[in-house]
A and B are shown apart, each in its own frame.
Chain A
């Protein structure tokens, strides 16, 4: 996976990159490979979507990126520099922040909003004189009046307001990147749109780069620049959002897209659905990990683990043998011999 990528994807500068990261969990004497060789570039100011079913490793990836999850293999780098020491990790945590799915769980119930939003400044040792101004600015940025909300406790806020507080707390350090793990999936439709508006507004005004981890493909499509699709601890497809969702190249992405309920009457129609469910991550199928469920599998799929290769539009890549005739031919020759 060392080749230089085509077109716009080759544009060097990254905010953060992840290379060949592996995360293993011990599960009843077996090892679950939650992440199994994941590489990813996140560029400054970019909205990157990470999609997949639950258990595909998307949340583990987010946690690994911030060093919350020990990795067995692989490297993280920040603006091109390897993050290897504790010191550099601390720096990373200043420049990249995270918000979580459940706004009811993510705020300490015994702290006032003011304490919650100031916490990052205290932890990172920002000078006290700056606290007030930074906190007020962050509150205004998320659309909460500081005078009215700073004194409240989380239980006095609605779900949407809590998520705004969580975003404000992430913003006070003026990060360059924000990783959002399912930030709106617990919220109502109209509140969802409000929170998304806040996040996208921050990207536009401050040039904040966002990672959107979501199971909602239409949401990812509507607001991301690029999307990576994960399956069982691997990236199986990546590319520009329009390309990946409107013209998916990997059978798994195609299946996901087909499964999206469409808000157009009769839009679903009769469609082919993927059979079965995500396999146990302690027993990853041999060859292509998707082959047991794949409607388009063919002979060598159960033997060859496909690489992520260019497929479809510029910058779009998929890990599927349909796009790797060379590997298929080589396998054929091998069996013949």
Chain B
């Protein structure tokens, strides 16, 4: 039997490597992500100016001293862009992590134990799935005072339901698989079964889904910040956009203030989404064959 006909989990790291580096989508995704993370860590050191330092050179167009021009306060756009990367990345990954943990716990518990537990958790999931997320985020962010932690928590709390749904469905099928039944026949406890049989077979799915949520979280942060609900003390791509719009930069023709943060958000979300889709294909052989 060839290794090509295997379902979930027959993995091997070589498959992942081929997936990430063998396709243009994988190379693009990994490249952008690596660059973004590098900038998120070292952005402060790379920035040519203090991103908050104001000057009299207001809304200046790109030049040799300010390669992406200046803001309405005369700060350097390029420096803000570099420094702002950190917030976007931190919010994106932290919120996705919260969402993954919440979704997995709820999905696993509901799917594995069934009965009333499942019914209650399922109702909760449905509730979070159907309520419009952005208004909820706005309300939550408004009620709580804006800070980075609040932002992360709000995004994480409102985006776990999809993961919960997917995990639950996977657990429901795994629970009926004979190897789980066999472990139970051996007298294995629930914790053991979840740890050794259910979770390892669900992880790739959780992972793929979480990568997609990173993209959603980055967008949400930008959206909240754009609406003025971000952390005012932190520079992020979203707050940059908000400041640009509130200062009338677009109508003033200051494209260098609007396009760079917008483009960064788009490219990062695109890269992360591509990676998410790749993982999804990897764990779902049916999608893989379609290629």
A residues with CB within 8 A of B:
63, 66, 68, 89-90, 93-94, 97-102, 105-111, 116, 119-120, 123-124, 153, 155-158, 166, 169, 173
Given contacts A68-B181, A157-B1, 20 further A-B contacts (CB under 8 A): A63-B181, A68-B184, A89-B187, A93-B187, A94-B187, A97-B185, A100-B182, A105-B177, A105-B178, A106-B179, A108-B196, A108-B200, A109-B9, A110-B9, A110-B11, A110-B201, A111-B196, A116-B179, A119-B188, A123-B188
Given contacts A68-B185, A105-B177, A153-B10, contact A123 B200 (CB under 8 A): no
CB-nearest residue of chain B to A179: B185
B1, A158: Cβ atoms closer than 8 Å? yes
Chain B residues at the A interface, C-beta cutoff of 8 Å: 1, 3, 5-11, 177-179, 181-188, 192, 196-197, 200-201
With a CB–CB cut-off of 8 A, which chain A residues contact B9?
Answer: 109-110
Contact B179 A120 (CB under 8 A): no
Out of A63, A107, A124, A158, name the residue touching B187 (CB < 8 Å): A124
Whether the pair A123, B187 counts as a contact (CB closer than 8 A) is: yes
A109 to B186, Cβ gap below 8 A?
A: no
A-chain residues with CB within 8 Å of residue B10 when the two chains form the complex: 109-110, 153, 155
Report the Cα distance A123→B188, complex, angstroms.
Answer: 6
In the complex, which of the residues B1, B188, B200 contacts A156, with contact meaning CB atoms closer than 8 Å? B1
The 5 closest A-B pairs by CB, nearest first: A106-B178, A100-B178, A93-B187, A110-B9, A155-B6
How distant is the Cα of A290 from the Cα of B243 in the complex, in angstroms?
81
11 CB contacts below 8 A, A to B, read: A66-B185, A97-B185, A97-B186, A102-B178, A106-B179, A108-B197, A109-B6, A110-B9, A123-B187, A156-B3, A157-B1
Closest to B193 in A: A123
Is A90 within 8 A of B187, CB to CB? yes
**B183 contacts across to A, CB distance below 8 A:** 119, 123
A107-B179 contact, Cβ under 8 Å, with A89-B187, A90-B187: yes
Cβ contacts under 8 Å, A124 to chain B = 186-187
Given contacts A109-B7, A110-B9, A155-B3, contact A123 B178 (CB under 8 A): no
For residue B11, which residues in chain A have a CB less than 8 angstroms away from its CB?
Answer: 110
Chain A residues closer than 8 Å to B1, beta-carbon distance = 155-158
Shortest distance from the beta carbon of A76 to any chain B beta carbon, whole Å: 14
In the complex, the chain A residue whose C-beta lies closest to that of B11 is A110
**Contacting B5 at CB < 8 Å: which of A63, A93, A105, A155?**
A155
B179 neighbours in A (Cβ, 8 Å): 105-108, 116
Residues in A with CB closer than 8 Å to B192 are 123
A158 CB to nearest B CB, Å: 7
Give CA–CA (A116, B183) in the complex, Å. Answer: 10
Chain A minimum-CB-distance residue to B184? A68
In the complex, the chain A residue whose C-beta lies closest to that of B200 is A110
The chain A residue sitting closest to B203, CB to CB, is A110
Chain A residues with CB under 8 Å of B201's CB are 108-110
A100 adjacent to B186 (CB under 8 Å): no
Which residues of chain A are near B8, meaning CB under 8 Å? Answer: 109-110
Q: Is the CB of B186 within 8 A of A93?
A: yes
Contacts of A108 in B (CB 8 A): 179, 196-197, 200-201
In Å, the complex CA distance between A111 and B186 comes to: 17
B186 touches A119 (CB 8 A): yes
Query: Which residue, A68, A89, A108, A120, has most C-beta atoms of chain B within 10 A?
Result: A108
Q: Which residues of B contact A105 (CB under 8 A)?
A: 177-179
**Whole-angstrom distance between the alpha carbons of A206 and B8 in the complex?**
37
Complex alpha-carbon distance, A173 and B186, angstroms? 10
Q: Which residues of A contact B178 (CB under 8 A)?
A: 100-102, 105-106
Q: Which residues of A contact B6 (CB under 8 A)?
A: 109, 155
Q: Determine the residue in chain B with the shortest Cβ distance to A102.
A: B178
A261 to B97, CA, bound (A): 59
Instruction: Find chain A residues with CB under 8 A from B184 CB.
Output: 68
CB-based nearest A residue for B201: A110
Find the residue from B1, B7, B187 having the highest chain A CB count within 10 A: B187
* Interfacial chain B residues near A102, Cβ < 8 Å: 178
Residues of A contacting B185 in the complex (Cβ-Cβ under 8 angstroms) = 66, 68, 93, 97-98
**A123 CA / B5 CA spacing, docked (Å):** 31
Set of chain B residues within 8 Å of A158, measured between Cβ atoms = 1
Closest-by-CB residue of B relative to A109 is B9
Would you give the shortest CB distance from A8 to chain B, in whole angstroms? 30
User: Nearest CB to that of A99 among chain B residues?
Assistant: B182
A90 — which chain B residues lie within 8 A by C-beta?
187
Q: Is the CB of B182 within 8 A of A98?
A: yes
Bound-state Cα–Cα, A124 to B3, Å: 33
Distance, CA A166 to CA B179, complexed state (A): 9
